């Protein structure tokens, strides 16, 4: 699958006209074996089944356990009771992170996107033992990741303060409210980070999940009547997902058709966090008004390549416009998380795919062309709806801070004991999602300031 990816053809037909630097950045994503990229982004299950590699049989057994977990086995997957009060909390205190009103509308909003990572000795609010909802692929500590330095950095914006995450403050805001994460596996990663952060103070009960693949889930913090849900919608608009087994290697994306699986539920949702991007890099055929208007990585369809940026822009722009049309008079927040960069450096199937153990300094690592374009699209789409009414749009502008964290991905520790097969064994690496705990918790520090703003 991934090995016969028609790289040279793809690149020739795609972006010859891009300036060299932009071209190279685009190529970083284009060269990722598609099977791997798709696999990483697609699989909403707890335990993965790699498409390319022969795996020991013991590993093969894992996914089906999860997939077919009967509903009455749910108890086992629920998080344990909250840890004793004070664990990791003394350093935080109520006052520090709790003062969200300081970022109220009187003062100009802080630009959280401009800053640097600074050392931070405080322990994370949770780990794999205190939080039961960490997806297996992101549970880096439990999988034997030996270094812990990546846990001890704090994002410091240049011109303002970003308070540490306060579960108490977030739960106070979330009382009698419903917050939904909508999007691809990065949305899920962020939603699960929030659940763990909140679970350090209050226990969530899983009250709903879609039977098949955990694509739709909902938790309630009963003490607070606070609801968090996760909706699978990897392109925001309607998609007929590709199905390799049936010979369909493209997503069919319908730019003029909304994904009602979440859109129709917005009435009962007080705040939604939308997060998409990476799925637009997967081969796609774009439909609009009953016609095919473009496609990406589609040489096999004898069609001219169009860049995916345009489809991404249309999907985001039209989705926000539709939300505004349906809910313009409702008091709601719609936050859109900007693109979260991947950090593949070496061979994707070798240990060193994202080997760095420290954040970059800002001057070490600028944004690539793809990251810049994806980020700009979201910022512009959100700005187009600024100050429209009770319905509030906001960007969670995390692209730059995430770009500086090559050390925060699972890499080989997406699986337990990845080097059991010996030092030369091929291992799959995840340099897209984020370890939990990890840098993605910072996304939710910014979210807290945004919901309270
Ligand atoms: C509980 O929260 C939901 C929103 O998730 C809200 O609609 C409902 O009114 C709340 N219940 C009470 C008793 O306030
Ligand atoms: C591809 O498209 C071109 C022009 O539309 C056509 O001439 C050619 O026969 C097509 N090739 C195949 C294999 O369908």
- Among 147-151, 296-300, 394-398, name the one with the lowest average pLDDT: 296-300
Q: List the single range of 23-27, 118-122, 365-369 with lowest mean pLDDT.
A: 23-27
Residue 359 per-residue DSSP state: P
CA of 302 to the centre of ligand 2 (A): 6
- How do residues 334-385 score in pLDDT, each as one tens digit? 999 999 999 998 776 776 789 999 999 989 999 999 999 999 999 999 999 9
Q: Pick the catalytic residue from 127, 259, 433, 441.
A: 433
Q: Is 38 in the pocket of ligand 1 (CB under 6 A)?
A: no
Q: What pLDDT sits at residue 313?
A: 97
Question: Does residue 2 have a pLDDT over 50?
Answer: no
* pLDDT at position 82: 34
Confidence check: pLDDT of 142 > 50: yes
Supply the residue whose CA is at minimum distance from atom 4 of ligand 1.
177
> Pick from 252, 376, 281, 286: which is nearest to 27 by CA?
281
pLDDT at 402 over 80: yes
Does residue 318 form part of some domain? yes
Reply yes or no on whether the pLDDT at 107 is more than 80.
no
Using the predicted structure, report yes or no on whether residue 65 has a pLDDT greater than 90: no
Residue 93: pLDDT over 50: no
Average pLDDT over residues 432-450: 97
Q: Ligand 1 in contact with 156 (CB < 6 A)?
A: no
Please indicate whether residue 265, judged by its CB atom, sits closer than 6 Å to ligand 1: no
Residue 133: band (very low, low, confident or very high) from pLDDT cuts 50, 70, 90: confident
- Give the rounded distance of the alpha carbon of 128 from its chain centre: 19
Give the model's pLDDT for residue 110. Answer: 86
Ligand with smallest separation from the Cα of 175: 1
Residue 49 has pLDDT above 90, yes or no: no
Sheet holding 237-240, edge to edge: 237-240, 251-258, 284-288, 291-296
Answer with the residue of higher pLDDT: 241 or 224.
224
Q: Domain for residue 31, yes or no?
A: no
Does residue 168 fall inside a structural domain? Answer: yes
Of the CA atoms within 13 Å of residue 273, those in its CB half-sphere come to 30
pLDDT higher than 50, residue 9 = no
Helices (H), 177-258: 185-199
Give φ, ψ of 240 to 5 degrees. -100, 105
How far apart are the C-alpha atoms of 453 and 195, rounded to whole Å? 21
* 447 close to 335: Cβ distance less than 8 angstroms: yes
Give me ligand 2 centre to Cα 299, in Å: 11
Of the ranges 9-23, 70-84, 251-265, which one carries the lowest mean pLDDT score? 70-84
Is residue 229 annotated as part of the catalytic site, yes or no? no
Give, using CA atoms, the residue closest to atom 13 of ligand 1: 176
Asked if the model's pLDDT at residue 28 lies above 70, the reply is no
More confident residue, 7 or 394: 394
CA distance 229 to 334: 14
- Rounded CA-CA distance 277/374 in Å is 7
Closest residue CA from atom 10 of ligand 1: 176
Higher pLDDT among residues 41 and 50, named by residue: 41
pLDDT (tens digit per residue) in 306-332 = 889 999 999 999 999 999 999 999 999
* DSSP sequence for 329-352: TS-EEEEEEPP------S-TTSTT
Q: Average pLDDT for residues 229-248, to the nearest whole number?
A: 92
429 Cβ inside 6 Å of ligand 1 = no
Q: Please give the residue that has the higher pLDDT: either 109 or 248.
A: 248
Q: Which of 113, 185, 193, 275 does the annotation list as catalytic?
A: 185
Give the domain CATH number at 370.
Answer: 3.40.50
**Is any ligand 1 atom within 6 A of the Cβ of residue 178?**
yes
Expressed in angstroms and rounded, the spacing between residue 304 Cα and the centre of ligand 2 is 11
* Domain range enclosing 130: 117-231+264-277+309-452
Name the DSSP letter for residue 343.
-
Stronger pLDDT, 387 or 3, i.e. the higher one: 387
Is residue 33 over pLDDT 80?
no
At residue 86, the pLDDT reads 34
Out of 16-30, 75-89, 132-146, 153-167, pick the least confident.
Answer: 75-89
Residue 8: inside a domain: no
CA-closest residue to ligand 1 atom 1? 176
Q: Looking at the domain assignment, is residue 138 inside a domain?
A: yes
β-pair partners for 287: 254, 292
Kindly report the average pLDDT of the chain as a whole number.
80
Which residue has the least CA distance to atom 7 on ligand 1?
176
pLDDT of residue 89: 30
Report the separation in Å between the CA atom of 178 and the middle of ligand 1, taken as the mean of its atom positions: 8
Which ligand has the shortest distance to the CA of 220? Answer: 1
More confident residue, 160 or 66: 160
- The alpha carbon of 175 and the centre of ligand 1 are apart by a number of angstroms equal to 8
Number of structural domains the chain divides into? 1
The CB density around residue 104, as the number of other CB atoms within 10 Å, is 10
- Rounded CA separation 67/180 (Å): 23
Q: In the β-sheet with 271-275, what is the strand arrangement from edge to edge?
A: 204-209, 216-221, 226-232, 178-183, 271-275, 332-337, 391-396
Q: Which ligand is nearest to the CA of 298?
A: 2
The answer on pLDDT for 153 being more than 70 is: yes
- Give dist(CA 262, CA 274) in Å, integer: 11
Confidence of residue 105 (pLDDT cuts 50, 70, 90): very low
Comparing C-alpha atoms, which of 14, 5, 7 is closest to residue 36?
A: 5
Check if 113 is active-site: no
Contact 196, 439 (CB under 8 A): no
Tell the residue number behind the tokens 């319908």, with chain if given. Answer: 254
> How confident is the model at residue 427, as a pLDDT?
84
248-274: burial string, b at 16+ Cβ within 10 Å, e else: ebbbbbbbeebbeebbebbeebbbbbb
Q: What is the pLDDT of residue 415?
A: 86
Q: For residue 58, what pLDDT is reported?
A: 32
% of residues, the chain, pLDDT over 90: 60
pLDDT at 386: 85
User: Residue 245: inside a domain, yes or no?
Assistant: no
**Atom number, ligand 1, closest to the C-alpha of residue 220:** 5
């Amino acid at each position: 699958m991934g090995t016969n990816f028609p790289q040279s053809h793809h690149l020739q037909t795609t972006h010859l006209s891009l300036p060299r630097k932009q071209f190279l950045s685009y190529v970083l994503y284009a060269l990722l074996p598609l099977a791997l990229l798709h696999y990483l982004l697609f699989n909403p299950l707890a335990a993965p089944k790699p498409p390319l590699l022969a795996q020991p049989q013991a590993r093969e057994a894992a996914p089906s356990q999860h997939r077919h977990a009967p509903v009455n086995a749910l108890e086992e997957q629920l998080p344990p009771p909250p840890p004793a009060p004070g664990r990791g909390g003394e350093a935080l205190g109520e006052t520090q992170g709790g003062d969200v009103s300081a970022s109220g509308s009187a003062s100009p909003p802080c630009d959280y996107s401009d800053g640097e990572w600074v050392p931070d000795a405080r322990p994370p609010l949770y780990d794999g033992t205190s939080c039961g909802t960490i997806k297996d692929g992101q549970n880096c500590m439990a999988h034997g990741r030996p270094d812990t330095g990546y846990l001890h950095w704090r994002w410091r914006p240049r011109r303002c303060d970003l308070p540490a995450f306060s579960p108490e403050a977030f739960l106070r805001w979330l009382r009698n409210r419903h917050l939904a994460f909508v999007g691809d596996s990065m949305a899920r990663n962020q939603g699960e980070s929030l659940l763990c952060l909140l679970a350090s103070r209050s226990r969530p009960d899983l009250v709903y999940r879609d039977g098949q693949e955990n694509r739709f889930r909902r938790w309630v913090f009963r003490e607070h009547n606070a609801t968090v849900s996760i909706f699978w919608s990897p392109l925001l608009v309607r998609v007929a997902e590709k199905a390799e087994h049936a010979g369909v290697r493209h997503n069919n994306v319908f730019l003029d058709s909304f994904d009602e699986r979440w859109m129709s539920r917005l009435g009962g949702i007080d705040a939604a966090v939308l997060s998409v991007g990476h799925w637009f890099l997967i081969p796609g055929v774009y439909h609009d008004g009953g016609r095919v208007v473009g496609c990406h990585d589609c040489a096999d369809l004898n069609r001219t390549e169009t860049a995916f940026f345009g489809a991404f822009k249309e999907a985001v722009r039209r989705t926000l416009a539709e939300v505004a049309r349906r809910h313009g008079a409702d008091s709601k927040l719609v936050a859109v998380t900007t693109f979260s960069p991947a950090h593949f450096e070496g061979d994707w199937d070798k240990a060193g795919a994202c080997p760095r153990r420290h954040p970059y300094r800002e001057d070490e690592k600028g944004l690539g062309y793809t990251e810049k374009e994806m980020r700009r699209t979201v910022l512009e789409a959100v700005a187009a709806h600024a100050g429209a009414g009770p319905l509030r749009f906001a960007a969670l502008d995390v692209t730059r801070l995430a770009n500086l964290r090559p050390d925060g991905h699972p890499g080989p520790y997406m699986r337990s004991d990845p080097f059991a097969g010996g030092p030369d064994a091929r291992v799959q690496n995840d340099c897209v999602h984020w370890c939990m705990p990890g840098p993605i918790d910072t996304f939710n520090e910014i979210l807290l300031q945004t919901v309270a703003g």
